[in-house]
Structure 1
Amino acid sequence: MSTSAHREPGRFLLISAPAKINLYLGVHNEKDERGYHRVDSVMTTLDLADVIAIGPADELSVHTVPPSDFPMDQNSAYRAARAMGEAFGRDANFAILIDKRIPQQAGLGGPSTDAAATILGIATYWGVDARDPRLDEVARSIGADVPFFLYGPPAFCDGAGDRVRELFRPLTGTPVALVRADGPGVSTVEAYRRFDENPPALPPLEPLLDALRLHDETQIFAHVANNLAPASCELNPQMAEALAWIREQPEVRAANVAGSGSTVFAVCTTQMAAEAIALAAQERGWWGYAARMEKSGPFVAAG
């Protein structure tokens, strides 16, 4: 977690809010008392990031570029700011502008990372220590992946995917090709509904965790898995096509669906290979991006 909470911020803060991919997503059949599936997840951040500007204002407002097609009070950053105000007994009067670079409904964690960046930005303004447990509580109240984004290095999360249990040495610089086929995104709610109709078995988790502890990249990428992917692919045939296509590309070490989709990713042997895949995807009329694994969560810089 990177923050400049101990120095006086300028009029506004700029915060990078990185995307993520799941190296492992294991959805269990059982649900918790909230009605959420039990989920085991291993995530790592990427250098693809939204950029958030936040500054003091007379009232709370959130705007996005390009503009959102839903009300401001439904934005995850707005909800995070409100929750921070409630948790700390203060008025969260900030103007928040989000430059959206992470595609919507992509499985790359855009809303969650925006919420985490907002939490960290407000904490910086208020002089709240980044390790204050109330930040984690606020993050969990917003959504499953938000606590992960407060940290950033590869992490194992359980519960509903909202409890950070173990952090690992970063895989900084590892090339990743991201591809999103044309067409509608995948609704996470619909993906879980389809999953419930015919739940696939859980992929093995311990071999991946052991490999992460040893920083054995060959074994890490040999155990990339996602048992929600079949349900998502059934809902989105274009994504299924993109996944089959990306798995056939040269120099791919592992490939799978990001979260519930609709982005697929390939871990590549070289950055040149990732860039070639991204370019080939664009030539097919798809969105393609050559990213690298990153070492941290939101990074706060004084404006």
Structure 2
Amino acid sequence: MSATGQMTGTVPNPAFDPYRATARAQGTIAPQGRSMLITAPAKINLYLGVHEGTGEDGYHRVDTVMTTLDLTDTLAIAPSDRLMVKTVPEADFPQESNTAYKAAVAMGKAFDREPNFAILIDKHIPIRAGLGGPSTDAAATIMGICRYWGVDPRDERIDAVARSIGADVPFFLYGPPAHLDGRGDRMSELFRPLTGTPVALVKPMTGGVSTVEAYRRFDEAPVAASPLEPMLEAMRSHDEQAIFEHVSNNLAPIARELCPQIGEIVDWMREQPDVRAVDVCGSGATVFAVCNTQMAAEKIGIAAMKEHGWWAQAAKMEKTGPIIAVG
């Protein structure tokens, strides 16, 4: 870290991450009774390597390098007489199954308090898409409750709560590109942001890929992960050409098998002009293309929708986790 506070390399200890908990810059406790708006960003995996076999805990060892995007959900949180979670559009499952609800309950248990909040989630990140929508909503909920209760986001209980909800949740508490290991939930290194890099996102209009099913198929016929170190070295040196040359995901072949349209989208996007790298987000169903220009990303999105009827969105890489504004 330089004297000016700018990131000059990796940050091995996330407790010292200056980007974590954007809300801290605006104060530690929200005014009593006031509502909050929190933007919760999506993510893509620049690298995903799932290792064969499972540990004693039943989970695979996973290495991943992720970055956030400016595609976001928006959460409105306010004190209430009980915990309530609603989504727009309305979810087709009970609120108790929502990750934001689970995160609030877990925070209540961790800090021995009643998590009585009304949470409304304006959904823009599609579900079952590999973009981390449920995980980012959970992280935003955790950070919002930290703000209301005056909890330091660096409290070790916060990481424990995040990891109990899902593997991607700890990543969203931070913001810059990061390497996570363990189950894909343990922060290892943070890197300089790739802010503003254009990305086109395309997925089938309906359907998706179950992560559970993807891992089951992977266990039946494992696909070797690409070497991790070249990606880490490229991220450390902030060599964009090398970074995008080493984009990799060994769950992508499984995703293509489970949803043939994903393979069709991958092949089509690789043929588009001004594309630097194409791969599957997580276990699917979204495919991302890193583009040379924002115009190229937008053209891909328009063509995907008009010519094929796929869901599409042009986005940019970001450097932040949840952003809080007090109403």
TM-score scaled by length of structure 2:
0.91
How far has the Cα of 1:5 moved from its partner?
4.1
**Alpha-carbon distance in 2 for matches of 1:37, 1:183:** 28
* Structure 1 partner of 2:28: 6
| One of 61, 68, 73 as aligned partner of 1:45 | 68
One-letter identity of the residue aligned with 2:28: H
Q: What is the alpha-carbon distance in structure 2 between the residues aligned to residue 163 and residue 173 of structure 1?
A: 26
Distance (whole Å) between structure 2 residues aligned to residue 225 and residue 187 of structure 1: 20
Partner of 2:230: 207
Following superposition, the deviation at residue 32 of structure 1 comes to 2.1
Q: Which position in structure 2 is the counterpart of 1:28?
A: 51
Q: Is the 8 A contact 1:157 1:166 kept in 2?
A: yes
Match of 1:83 in 2: 106
Structure 1 position 239, deviation (Å): 1.0
- Cα deviation for residue 7 of structure 1 reads 5.3
The answer to whether the Cα contact below 8 Å between 2:235 and 2:243 also exists between their aligned partners in 1 is yes
SS of 1:259's equivalent in the other structure is: coil
Quote how far apart the aligned CAs of 1:33 are. Answer: 2.1
Corresponding position: 1:183 with 2:206: yes
CA contact (8 A) 1:5 1:128 kept: no
Decide which of 261, 265, 273 is 1:238's aligned counterpart. Answer: 261
Q: 2:311 corresponds to which residue?
A: 287
Q: Deviations over 1:244-271 (max 9, x none)?
A: 1111111110000000000000000000
Give the secondary-structure state (helix, strand or coil) at the position aligned to 1:186.
Answer: coil
8 Å CA contact 1:5, 1:129 repeated in 2: no
| Alignment of 1:194 onto 2:217 | yes
Matched, 1:228 2:251: yes
Is this contact kept in 1: 2:75–2:120, CA < 8 A? yes
CA deviation profile, 1:105-158 (whole Å, cap 9, x unmatched): 000000000000000000000001121111111000000000000001100001
How many Å apart are 1:36 and its aligned residue? 1.1
Count of residues in Structure 1 that have an aligned counterpart in Structure 2: 303
Counterparts of 2:292 and 2:228, CA distance in 1: 23
1:105 aligns with 2:105: no
Unaligned runs of 5+ in 1: none
Q: Using the TM superposition, give the Cα deviation of residue 184 of structure 1 relative to its aligned residue in structure 2, in angstroms.
A: 1.2
Q: Give the letter for the 1:132 counterpart.
A: D
Question: Contact (CA 8 Å) 1:172, 1:293: kept in 2 or not?
Answer: yes
Runs of 4+ in structure 1 displaced over 4 angstroms? none
Given residue 228 of structure 1, which amino acid in structure 2 is its aligned partner? L
Q: What is the CA–CA distance in structure 2 between the aligned matches of 1:301 and 1:70, rounded to whole Å?
A: 28
Query: Which residue of structure 2 lines up, in the alignment, with residue 122 of structure 1?
Result: 145
- Answering whether residue 100 of structure 2 is matched by residue 71 of structure 1, we say no
Residue identity matched to 2:168: D
Distance 1:5 1:142, change over 3 A: farther
Instruction: Work out the CA distance in 1 between the residues paired with 2:37 and 2:157.
Output: 22
- Computed over aligned residues only, the root mean square deviation of the Cα atoms, in angstroms, reads 0.9
Matches within 5 A, 1:165-176: 165-176=188-199
**TM-score scaled by length of structure 1:** 0.98
Which amino acid in the other structure matches residue 39 of structure 2?
S
Provide the secondary structure at the position in 1 that maps to 2:48.
strand
SS of residue matched to 2:236: helix
The answer to whether the Cα contact below 8 Å between 1:107 and 1:263 also exists between their aligned partners in 2 is yes
